[in-house]
Amino acid sequence: MELRQRYEEDLTLVRGVLGWSALLALLAFLALLPVLAPGYFLYTASLVAVHVVIAVGLNLLVGYTGQISLGHAGFVAVGAYAAGVLATRLHVPWPGAMLGGGIAAAFFGFLVGIPALRLTGPYLTIATLGFGIAVNQVLTNWEQLSGGRTGLFLPKLAIAGVRLRDHHIYYLFAGLAAALVWIATNLVRSHVGRAFVAIRDSDIAAEVMGVNLTVYKTLAFAVSAFYAGIGGAMLAYLLGYLEPQLFTLFESIYYFSMIVIGGLGTIPGSILGAILLTILPQQLAGLKQYLPLVYGATIVLVMAVEPLGIYGRWLRIKLWFKTWPF
Amino acid sequence: MVQDMALLVQYVVVGLAVGSLYALVALGIVLLYRTSRILNFAHGDLATFGTFIAFALLTAWRWPFAAASLGSLLTTAVVGAAFFFLVIRPAKESTLLGKIVITLGLALVLQGATVILWGTGTKILPFPLSDIKVYRLGQVVVSQISVGSFAVGLALMGALYVLVQHTRVGLAMRAVSQDTVAAQVLGIPVKQIFALTWGLASALGAAAGILLAPATLLDPYMMLDPFLKGFAAAVLGGIDSMPGAAVGGLLLGVLEALFGGYVSVKFKTTLAFLIIIAVLVVRPEGLLGREYKRRV
Amino acid sequence: MRLARIGVILSLLVLAATATVAQPQERGVTDTEIVIGSSQPLSGPAAFWGQGVGGGMDAYLKVINDQGGINGRKIRLILRDDGYLPPRAVANVRELVERERVFAIVSLIGSANTFAVRDYVIENQLLWITPTADANMWAGFKDKKYLFVAYPGYVDEGRILTVYGARQMGAKSVAVFYQNDLYGQKGLVGVKRGVAEARIKLATAVSYEVTDRDVSAHALKLRQSGADTVILYALPTAGALIVREMAKIGYTPKLLSSFTLADPIMFQLAGEAWNGVTLTAFFPVPGTDAKVDAMLETLIKTNPQLRASPFNALAGVAFLEPFVEALRRTGPNVTKDGVVRAFESLRNWDGEVIRGVTFGANRRQGINRIYIVRSEGGQYKKLTDWIEYPVGF
C-alpha cells in the first residue's frame, strides 16, 4: 500500500513499475496480435473492439448513472444506419460517417433521456425497450431510408484510396476503442462522472446537493448513445452490410448482459464482459443446438459465483494479494 | 355504417381474446416482481417449457387433458421453485440487475433444453376446444377457443385475486412484498413464501402457454412475442398491481388490434409501445400502480 | 567422389522438385476425405430451418460415406451455428475457411447472412454451393466463377404462380400475405408482375414479422380487401396460423402459395384448412415421386429427428446433390478448377431429389423451372408439367 500525498498522485491513472509494465505488456500484446493470430481471429478481435465501445457506453448509463436501457440496440442501429446513409448517399468519407453516426445516436439518446427523467426501474426498461423496437420497425419498413430488408451496402474502409485489410481494420478499431475507453475513464473521474454516480445512488439526494437532474440524466443518455452510435458505425464498416435484424431486442439484452457479467459501474468490467460474450458464442458455435444450454449455464454460473461480475472477482483477488498474509 | 360498426366490434373482440392471454402472462411477471423485485426474463421460456410438458403428457403419455394440464402446471411450479432454491437464493449477494441477467441465463438454458428434448419443429397441442368452430353474433365472429381461453383466463385471475387478498398465504405474500425483514421478524417463513411465489408465477406462465398454444401453435420460441407483450402490459398497468396487469393486458390487446386494423399492421407494435411510453410519461407508475414514494 | 556428391545432391533436388510439382494439395482435400463447411441457424427462432437443412445434408453425406464416399474419399461436413445473425455467420465462414480449411462452403440460410459473407467468399474465390436466398440477387453480379446456385428465384416463382392462378383458376383479385423480409418482398414483386401480365387486380398486401404469433388482424385485413384469391409467402408456422385464422372468420378465398409451404407438415399444422391449396415446387414434393420418398425414408432412418421437417431435410439434399455429382465427375484428382469444370458439364442432370440441373461456362443458375401442385386430402397432387422461366445468370 503506497501513501498518496498529492492530488496529482491521486489523479494518476497508471501507478508504479507494476502498473506501467502491465499496461505496456497489454499494449504489446494488442500490437502483436496480428502476427500471433490468424485473419479470422482478427475479425473476431475487431468485433470485440466494437462491443467494447458499446459496452463501455452502456455501462456509463446503467452502471454509473443507474438508468436501465434495454433498447440499446436502437442507438447502435441509429449510429450504424446514419453512418451507412452518410457514406452511401452523401459519399462522406468514413471518419466523418462514423462521427455522424455517433452524433445522430447521441441526439436520439437525448430524446429518450427526456421521458426517462420521470421513469425508473421496470418502467424505464419498457420505455427504452419500446424505443429499440420502434427503431427496428422503422428501419425495416422505411425502405427509402434504410434499404429495408434488402439491406444497405457500405463502401470498404480505405485510407487515401488504399483498401484496409484485416489487420489494418483491427489496429484502427483497437485504437478507436482504446481512445474511447480512455475518454470514458477520464469522464467518470471528472465532476460529470461524480454527478452520474450521485444520481445512481440517489437522484433526489443528488438534486438536493445541486446536481441538475435534467442536464445530467439526458447527458448520460446522450453520451451513452454516442458510444453506441460509434460502435454501430464501426460494426457497419466491419460487416460492410446493414440489415435491420442486426439490431433486435436480443442484441439489447446481449449488450446488457455484457456489462452485468463484466461488472456494473466499472470500465474494465465492460471490457471483460464484451470480450467474454463475443468470444464465448463464437467458440461454442460448433456445439450446434447445445449452444444456448452451455451459454446460458455459463452466464448463470458466472453471476451466481461472482455477483459483482468478472471484474469484481479480479478486485477480490487483488485485495487478497495486497493484504496477504492477513 | 353497420358494417363499419361490426368491423370495429370484431377488432375489439379479437383484441380482447389476445389481451386476456397477455394479461395472464403479465400476472405471472407482476406476482413475482411484487414479492421479490425481480424482473423474470425467463418467464416466457418457463411457460414454453411448461407447455411442452403438457404436450408430452398429452401425446406420449396419453393423459386426459385436465390431468395433463395439472401435471404441467405442477411440474413448471416445481421447476420455478427449484430455480429459486438452486440459483436465486445462493446468489443473494447479487444486485437486482445481476438477478435479471441470471434469469436471462436461465431463459437460454430452458430454451436450449426445450429444443434438445422436443426439437425445433412446430407442433399441435391437442386441445378440447376447436378454433375452427365459431359463434356468430350478427357479423361478428368469435371462435370457441377464444371464448374458452378468455373464460379460463378470467377464472384464473379471479382465483389468484382471492388467493392473494383473502387467504393467510396471500397475507404472508403481501407482507413479504412490503417488507421482507419485518415479515421475517414476525415469523413468516420468507424462504417458503419466495419459493411459493416463484412456483405460482411459473405455473401461471404455463397456464398462459397452454391457452396460447392452440392459437399460436407450439414451438420453442412461441412465447417470445407474448412474453414481451405481457411484460409491456404489466408495466402499462403498473408493475406492482395485479388488477393493473389484467387491465394492461386487455388494453394492449385491443390497442394492437385496432392499430393493426385501422392504421398499419407493420407498425402496430411500435404504436402500442408509443402509447405505453406516453401513458408512462403522464403516469410514471402505470395505470393502476401505487404512486412511487421513497425515503432519501 | 566429388561427382558422386553432386549427383546425389542433384537427384535430391529433382526429387524435391517433382514432389512439390506432383502434390499441389488442394485446401480441404486429403487422400481420405474432402472437408466442406456450412453455417446455419441451429439455435434461435430460425433453428427449425437450419436444423432441417443442416440435418438433411448431414444425413445424406452419412449415407454416401457409408457407401464408400466419392472416388475413395469421404466427405466431412462441418456445421456451425450462427443463430441467424450476420456477424456470427461471417465469423463462422472465415473460421471454416481459414482454420478448418474447408474445400467449399455449402448453403448458408437467409439473404442477410448471404449478403454479409458475399464479398468475402467472392474475393477469396471460394467454392460456394447454393446459398439459400433469392436466386435473382445474382443476376448481373460479376465474379461468380466459383458460385453454383440450384435454387429458384422468388420473383419468377411469384409471377408464374400468379399467372397460373389468373388463367387456370379464374382469380380476378388477389391479396398477398407475405413475410416482411427479402423472401416475402421478392415474392410480392413477382406477384405484382404476374398481376400485370394477367391483367387482374392486386387488392392488398399484408405483411407479418417472423416473430408475430397473432395474425388475427392480418386475417381481417385480408378479408376486408374482398380478394377472391390469397397468395401466401410464409413459413409453415405463420402459413398455418393465417389459414386457420381465415377459416375462423369465415373467409374462404382460393389459396395459392410459395414452395416454402409445400411441406407435408402443413397438413398437421393447418389441418382441414390445408385443402385445395395450389403451390409451386422446385423439386418433387414428398408423396408425388418414388425416388424422393425413398430418399426421405433413408434420411429418416439415418436421423429420426428429420421426421419433423421432411421438406427442409430434402432441400438440404437438393443443395448438395449437384456438388456430389460434380465431385464424382471430377475423378480422383480433386482440384477447385476441376470441380468447376465438372459442374459446368452438368446438362439437365437428375439427382434423387433435385431435377434438371444445368450449368455451363457462363451459366451459374442451375435450375430455371418449377411446377404446380395442389393439396388434396392430405396429399400433394401434381397439376402441371415443369414451367420454365428465363435463365438470369
- Domains of chain A: residue spans and CATH: 37-323 (1.10.3470)
Chain C residues within an 8 Å CB radius of B7: 220, 224
In a domain, B192, yes or no: yes
pLDDT greater at residue C18 or residue C344: C344
C239 in the same domain as C382: yes
pLDDT band at residue C170 using 50, 70 and 90 as cut-offs: very high
In a domain, B273, yes or no: yes
In a domain, C7, yes or no: no
Q: Check residue B133 and give its pLDDT.
A: 79
Q: Which one of B111, B232, B296 has the shortest CB-CB distance to A204?
A: B296
Best-predicted range by mean pLDDT (B195-209, B210-224, C9-23):
B195-209
pLDDT over threshold 50, residue C18 = no
Average pLDDT over residues A94-120: 93
pLDDT greater at residue A92 or residue A36: A92
User: Which residue is closest to A243 within chain C, CA to CA?
Assistant: C112
C301 in the same domain as C235: no
Query: What's at A20, amino acid-wise?
Result: W
Which residues on neighbouring strands pair with residue B218, listed in sequence order?
B123
Residue C48 in contact with partner chain B when CB distance is under 8 A: yes
pLDDT over threshold 90, residue C302 = yes
Q: Which one of B14, B115, B119 has the shortest CB-CB distance to C216?
A: B14
Domain that holds residue B218: 2-282
C175 in the same domain as C120: no
In a domain, B291, yes or no: no
pLDDT over threshold 90, residue B146 = no
Per DSSP, C284 falls in state: P
Q: Report CB contact under 8 Å: C90, A43.
A: yes
Q: Which one of C42, C47, C180 has the shortest CB-CB distance to A149?
A: C180
| Count of domains observed in chain B | 1
In a domain, B213, yes or no: yes
Q: Check residue A62 and give its pLDDT.
A: 92
In a domain, C393, yes or no: no
Q: Report CB contact under 8 Å: B134, C248.
A: yes
Q: Which helix (H) or strand (E) holds C148?
A: strand C147-148
pLDDT over threshold 50, residue B288 = yes
Q: Check residue C15 and give its pLDDT.
A: 47
pLDDT over threshold 50, residue C206 = yes
How far does the CA of residue C233 sit from the closest CA of chain A (Å)? 15
C355 in the same domain as C340: yes
In a domain, B111, yes or no: yes
pLDDT over threshold 80, residue B80 = yes
Q: Tens digit of pLDDT for each residue in A187-230?
A: 999 999 999 999 998 888 999 999 999 999 999 999 999 999 99
Residue C184's CATH number: 3.40.50.2300
pLDDT band at residue B135 using 50, 70 and 90 as cut-offs: confident
In a domain, C107, yes or no: yes
Domain that holds residue C162: 155-281+373-388
Q: Check residue C8 and give its pLDDT.
A: 52
pLDDT greater at residue A53 or residue C43: A53
Q: Tens digit of pLDDT for each residue in B161-209?
A: 999 989 999 999 989 888 888 999 999 999 999 999 999 999 999 999 9
Mean pLDDT of chain B: 89
User: Which residue is closest to A114 within chain B, CA to CA?
Assistant: B281
Q: Check residue C17 and give its pLDDT.
A: 46
Residue B161's CATH number: 1.10.3470
Residue C111 in contact with partner chain A when CB distance is under 8 A: yes
Q: Check residue B294 and give its pLDDT.
A: 64
Average pLDDT over residues C260-276: 88
C-alpha torsion sign, points B27, B28, B29, B30: positive
Q: Check residue B82 and give its pLDDT.
A: 94
pLDDT over threshold 90, residue A38 = no
pLDDT over threshold 70, residue B293 = no
CA–CA gap between residue B232 and residue B29 (Å, rounded) = 10
C264 in the same domain as C175: yes
Q: Tens digit of pLDDT for each residue in C114-164?
A: 988 998 999 899 999 999 888 888 888 888 899 999 998 899 999 999 999
Best-predicted range by mean pLDDT (A93-107, C8-22, C94-108):
A93-107
Which grid cell sits at A160? 487515401
pLDDT over threshold 90, residue A4 = no
ipTM score of complex: 0.86
Best of B270, B275, B285, B295 to substitute, by most chain A Cβ atoms within 10 angstroms, is B270
CA–CA gap between residue A285 and residue B109 (Å, rounded) = 16
User: Helices marked H in A202-308 — which ranges?
Assistant: 203-208, 213-239, 249-262, 267-283, 291-305
Q: Check residue C14 and give its pLDDT.
A: 47
User: Which residue is closest to A296 within chain B, CA to CA?
Assistant: B105
Chain C residues within an 8 Å CB radius of B261: 217, 220-221
Which grid cell sits at C8? 546425389
- In C71-208, at which residue ranges do the beta strands (DSSP E only) sit? 74-81, 104-106, 127-129, 147-148, 173-179, 201-208
Q: Report CB contact under 8 Å: A40, C185.
A: no
Q: Tens digit of pLDDT for each residue in A231-246?
A: 999 999 998 889 898 8
C145 in the same domain as C160: no
C269 in the same domain as C186: yes
Q: Check residue A99 and give its pLDDT.
A: 96
Q: Which helix (H) or strand (E) holds A52?
A: helix A39-59
Residue C42 in contact with partner chain A when CB distance is under 8 A: yes
Chain A residues within an 8 Å CB radius of B234: 122
User: Which residue is closest to C45 within chain A, CA to CA?
Assistant: A250
C161 in the same domain as C146: no
Residue C182 in contact with partner chain A when CB distance is under 8 A: yes
Which grid cell sits at B23? 394479461
Residue A239 in contact with partner chain C when CB distance is under 8 A: yes
Q: Check residue A2 and give its pLDDT.
A: 63
How far does the CA of residue A204 sit from the closest CA of chain B (Å)? 7
pLDDT over threshold 70, residue C215 = yes
Q: Which one of C218, C268, C269 has the shortest CB-CB distance to B265?
A: C218
pLDDT over threshold 90, residue C212 = no
Phi–psi pair at C81, nearest 5 degrees = -90, 130
Task: Say if residues B226 and A101 touch (Cβ distance below 8 Å).
Answer: no
In a domain, B292, yes or no: no
C79 in the same domain as C67: yes
C349 in the same domain as C247: no
Average pLDDT over residues A136-164: 87
Mean pLDDT of chain C: 88
Residue A149 in contact with partner chain C when CB distance is under 8 A: yes
| Count of domains observed in chain C | 2
C298 in the same domain as C249: no
Q: Report CB contact under 8 Å: A285, C112.
A: no
Residue A152 CB neighbour total at 10 angstroms = 24
**What is the number of CB-based contacts under 8 A between chain B and chain C?**
94
C245 in the same domain as C178: yes
How far does the CA of residue C88 sit from the closest CA of chain B (Å)? 18
CA–CA gap between residue C183 and residue C193 (Å, rounded) = 16
Which grid cell sits at C136? 435473382
Q: At what angle do helices B2-36 and B242-258 cross, to 10 degrees?
A: 150
